[in-house]
Structure 1
């Protein structure tokens, strides 16, 4: 059985890309090749697959939908990787930058970074996306006057029970937990947890055990470890730098992922242009710095780890490249030699090839 994957790449058309790219990943060698590109969208920066893999959704990080951003639904050809557009809807706020599809394939939840808001959209059986059924405007600010003058909802993650959504708000220095009413397409605030002032929480990921959560803080260049309690509340317990000791120059974290075996967590550093590697003590969830690996490019945004844990694929936005690394047993990364040119890559979602 082949371990080959399709990789769907969200990009910035404002930086010269054509749209959402489909790549093919060789599951044995880590080599990437381009398959196709879906055009006609403005800044389809972040993409998400539904649980079946039959549909893909892309935000348009813009204000081109009557002052708001948009969400576009696609059919996925599981044999060729080609995307066919179904429909589009407004997200209700400008600059959407992240979205997630729930496990029942019923709703899409979107965070609008520029607008500091969250919207939830029903999904039909044919994959089409509906108008939002709930819209929540965040209000607040924090200490960084350039980046935190107002709320900036940056990411959303849905728990394994499919009943809570966790939203990182960089502008408010908070992680907010919402209860999800799937049937009615509604969100209700359940709890909030404050990050240290000026940290700027950006992306969020669960440990496979379901006991811990890891958040990368964009402005503080740190990773925060949380205990995830049975009632869904978060308790922060450790924060570590993602940069080497004595590092200078401007850098900001971008993305974070835990390896499938739960032994390591990785964070991308834009400016330092590296992947920070941490080992995880699975009995506590706490992390220990292992080292850093250059992404061989400029401004690494999102990255992906293959489901078998064999490869890590890093996207360098400002050098227009995606670089493939083999994951070693000690968590470190070794370049495979595969570097593929893709203009302004931002996000990656993997799908096993039928």
Structure 2
């Protein structure tokens, strides 16, 4: 383990542009912005209900319905092939059949990427990842469970750029945000905080920032010239905050004050991964003893043992997310563990697959189950449905969601005949809600 330089800062001064939703910042000049070929469609390809069939309904006596939310890219990005989406779509999801039925789409958010859904308040938090904005934002929406629509609550600036992750602490009182950051780390004219916490207002909106930090350092790869926080979440006991920083090959650990929402570097403030790993997403095993991080650049998953007393990690195992004979380019992306803790899955963009592993409950070690084609290009994100019987994969560059059956015994994935067409899908979230009349 090694210590990272974590510098607490106060919120950005009023001299820094703080309102990207009020006045859009100018785009980066052609000399500083990478060129790319992007095609932007005026309409996303979203499946709509077949009006020859009945509207979605629940079985008699059922008191719960399941909704699926899908965010999409709707603004040009230099590192995306295209941005064919419109906003955040809401679907009725049938857990028995795996069928999606379109309900509504919220189009008012710029490039809604990662989302977090508070299952208690039904507030949806969506980050806006917009190239050229000096400061990112998180937008809060209230989900109407009966209508399947989203109502705008508020937006909050995030003290840093390219906002890529948001989550809530276990009390639901505070939001935690990670900023990937596109600006140069020595540019003191721009907000440079990579992690920050915000209070959740009574209406579910976010208040002014409470605490924030910048991370120093870099890694050996060309994409690691500065800090790039990509994930932030509290530990299951709400005592620590874990941050995966792709740019500096570290997991940063903060102590979290659940009363005030403040973060402070832990006594051992970081855990170092192999140089050039590029940690992207992280997940705790349901038992709490083990944790796993997927490395975007190295295309690996690292199994860790977590000490909940002091917030430290011990490396147990490193496995590749790719087949041994694959030699092409790849960026690993998303990571999820089955609710029963028996299986873990990671997505590969390049190999375009989902890697499945079984988890040894005693040692935390992983054993390969297999690789399943995502049946599309760049599976950026995926989700296991609430029943655990299906997986839905967002194929970013194929404008599609693909649906797989999950074998409850082996954890293997089997493609179904179902597919949902939707422009540049980026994040999929499920939420069970009370059915109308229940």
TM range (shorter): over 0.9
CA apart distance, 1:80: 2.4
Deviation, structure 1 residue 127: 0.8
1:351 corresponds to which residue? 431
1:74-113 to 2 correspondences below 5 Å? 74-113=141-180
The 8 Å contact of residues 51 and 104 in structure 1, kept in 2 or not, is answered as: no
Q: 2:73 aligns with which of 8, 12, 17?
A: 12
| CA distance in structure 1 between the aligned counterparts of 2:305 and 2:386, rounded to whole angstroms | 24
Q: Quick check: 1:184 aligned with 2:260?
A: yes
Residues 75-118 of structure 1, C-alpha deviations (whole Å, 9 max, x = no match): 11022221000111100111000110112111110000025600
How far residue 278 of structure 1 moved from its aligned partner, in angstroms, is 0.5
Work out whether 1:59 is the aligned partner of 2:127. Answer: yes
User: 1:208-229, CA deviations, whole angstroms, 9 ceiling, x for partnerless residues?
Assistant: 1111001100000000000011
- Equivalent residue, structure 2, for 1:327: 406
1:71 and 2:138 aligned: yes
Paired residue for 1:216?
Answer: 294
1:160 is displaced (CA, Å) by 1.5
1:63 to partner: Cα distance: 5.8
Structure 1 position 32, deviation (Å): 1.7
Distance 1:230 1:103, change over 3 A: closer
8 A contact 2:119–2:431 mirrored in 1? no
* Aligned counterparts, 1:133-282, within 5 A: 133-144=210-221, 146-190=222-266, 191-231=269-309, 232-282=311-361
Cα distance in 2 for partners of 1:36, 1:140 equals: 43
Out of 279, 300, 303, the residue aligned to residue 382 of structure 2 is 303
Q: 1:51 to 1:264 in 2, by over 3 A?
A: same
Asked if the contact 1:157/1:205 (under 8 Å) is kept, the reply is no
Partner deviation per Cα, 1:18-53 (whole Å, 9 max, x = no partner): 111112221001122221111111111011012414
| C-alpha deviation, 1:250, in angstroms | 0.7
CA deviation after TM superposition for structure 1 residue 164, in Å: 1.5
Question: TM-score, normalising length from structure 2?
Answer: 0.78
Whether the aligned pair in 2 keeps the contact of 1:74 and 1:84 (CA below 8 Å) is: yes
Instruction: Give the match's secondary structure for 1:62.
Output: coil
Distance 2:287 2:413 in 1: 23
Aligned-pair CA distance for 1:69:
0.4
Moved over 3 A (4+): 1-4
Aligned residue for 1:117? 194
Gaps of 5+ in 2: 1-61, 76-82, 183-192
The alpha carbon displacement at 1:266 in A equals: 0.3
TM-score by length of 1: 0.96
Which structure has the greater CA radius of gyration? Answer: 2
Q: CA RMSD in A?
A: 1.4
8 Å CA contact 1:2, 1:27 repeated in 2: no
Q: Give the Cα–Cα distance (whole angstroms) in 2 for the partners of residues 308 and 16 of structure 1.
A: 30
Task: Indicate the structure with greater strand content.
Answer: 1
Kept after mapping to 1: 8 A contact 2:403/2:416: yes
Gaps of 5+ in 1: none
Structure 2 CA distance for aligned equivalents of residues 114 and 279 of structure 1: 34
Cα deviation, residue 206, structure 1: 0.8
Aligned residues: 352
Equivalent-residue separation in structure 2 for 1:120 and 1:64 (angstroms)? 23
Q: Say whether the 8 Å CA contact 1:63–1:69 is kept in structure 2.
A: no
Deviation at 1:187, TM superposition (A): 0.8
2:116 counterpart residue number: 48
